[in-house]
Chains A and B, each alone.
Chain A
Amino acid sequence: SQQGEEDPQALSIQEGENATMNCSYKTSINNLQWYRQNSGRGLVHLILIRSNEREKHSGRLRVTLDTSKKSSSLLITASRAADTASYFCATGLTGANSKLTFGKGITLSVRP
């Protein structure tokens, strides 16, 4: 079963615009991670935010975490055509081993 639910399922934007993707989850977590997957490729780790953190930045990426609402958002600023990919949020659960539980993913298309 999948713990995370991403929203929207698909997003199409123009190059240069910002892309905001949301993730909700159900149980308590230790951390939440965002991954990118290009078609036919493996998962690339983007950013990890711990349950005691509220916001984190990495380059053009900004991630927020609201544990009271059990939700996270990933913002990509000044999008590029190369950002076209599927994006997944994954949670590491409190008390569990280190396995990650993924959502179904968001398909982002950035039009040049």
Chain B
Amino acid sequence: GAGVSQSPRYKVAKRGQDVALRCDPISGHVSLFWYQQALGQGPEFLTYFQNEAQLDKSGLPSDRFFAERPEGSVSTLKIQRTQQEDSAVYLCASSWAGTGGSLDTQYFGPGTRLTVL
């Protein structure tokens, strides 16, 4: 079946612009995660949804970052007034886990590479 998809794959923004990144999880997956991966580093957690509920947003670096998953399926990560330090690959992952347990495999999308000029 189809995996996790993300769009756009590449995004170039001028500093100060707003951007919206989309994630389509695997159908039926309850949990959805956003991670940020800087060049040469491992992914870092941003936020987590269980269905439409955002249960953890502790990793969002500032109030310029906002994520939503209004119908419990597709999710959008929005970054307002982008800064150069926001340049990174943004990864989305989904899993079956519906209880908040940590035992389920997370399946990752290809990521969106954001470059802020």
Contacts and interface: CB of A to CB of B under 8 A. Distances in A.
Interface of A: 2, 4, 29-31, 33, 35, 41-45, 48, 50, 88, 90, 92-94, 96-105
B55 interface: yes
A27 to B, nearest CB: 12
B102 A98 contact: yes
| Interface size range of chain B in the complex | 20 to 34
Q: Is the interface of A mostly helix, strand, loop or mixed?
A: strand
Contacts of B104: 98
A80 B55 CA distance: 41
29 contacts: A2-B42, A2-B44, A31-B102, A33-B106, A41-B110, A41-B111, A42-B108, A42-B109, A42-B111, A43-B108, A45-B107, A50-B103, A88-B42, A92-B103, A96-B102, A97-B48, A97-B55, A97-B56, A98-B48, A98-B95, A98-B106, A99-B45, A99-B48, A100-B33, A100-B45, A101-B45, A102-B42, A104-B41, A104-B42
Given A98-B33, A104-B42, A93 B91 contact: no
B62 interface: no
Interface of B: 4, 31, 33, 35, 40-45, 48, 55-56, 59, 91, 93, 95, 97, 100-111
Contacts, number: 78
B106 A100 contact: yes
Nearest to B6: A42
A4 B91 CA distance: 19
Given A42-B108, A42-B110, A93 B102 contact: yes
Nearest to B107: A45
A42 B44 CA distance: 14
Contacts of B95: 98
Given A41-B111, A100-B35, 8 more contacts: A2-B41, A30-B103, A43-B108, A45-B106, A48-B103, A98-B102, A102-B43, A105-B41
